[in-house]
Amino acid sequence: MTEALLMSDTIVTIDFAVELREIAHAHLESLEDVKFVDSVLEECERLEADPDPSTNAGAICKNKRTGHYLILVKKHISKDDYNGIFRLMDKNGIPLEDQRLLNSDQNFARHLVLNECAHGDTPDRS
């Protein structure tokens, strides 16, 4: 597993907010916004959305009224959150050399948002 790749103790995703929003809007047509939250699971609950229980780092929710998506990104991603995502990558057979591309905070945050965009484009994708 790639646990040792994280450059800092915590990824502060809000530091990359402008870029992450640009990336998301470029890859998902029906996007309302990217929202940075303290807890993805709590925000999903507040929005009455079904969260993905496998991670608390990011999620995508569909506004039932408008049909547009809202991407939720945890403001502070801890080593535990980070390592949990890499465990999922290992489980899904993502090669270690591909995982190593995410060895900077910014690259990891970009990947997280792109992954949520992919879930919006293909809701049954894991």
What are the boundaries of each domain within the chain? 3-121
- Average pLDDT, whole number, for the chain? 84
Determine the pLDDT at residue 125: 47
Q: What percent of the chain shows pLDDT beyond 90?
A: 37
Instruction: Map the chain to HEC letters.
Output: CCHHHCCCCEEEHHHHHHHHHHHHHHHCCCEEEEEEECCHHHHHHHCCCCCCCCCCCEEEEECCCCCCEEEEEECEEEHHHHHHHHHHHHHCCCCHHHHHHHCCHHHHHHHHHHHHHHHHHCCCCC
Per residue in 50-98, pLDDT tens? 766 566 899 998 887 888 899 999 999 988 888 888 888 889 898 888 8
pTM for the full model?
Answer: 0.84
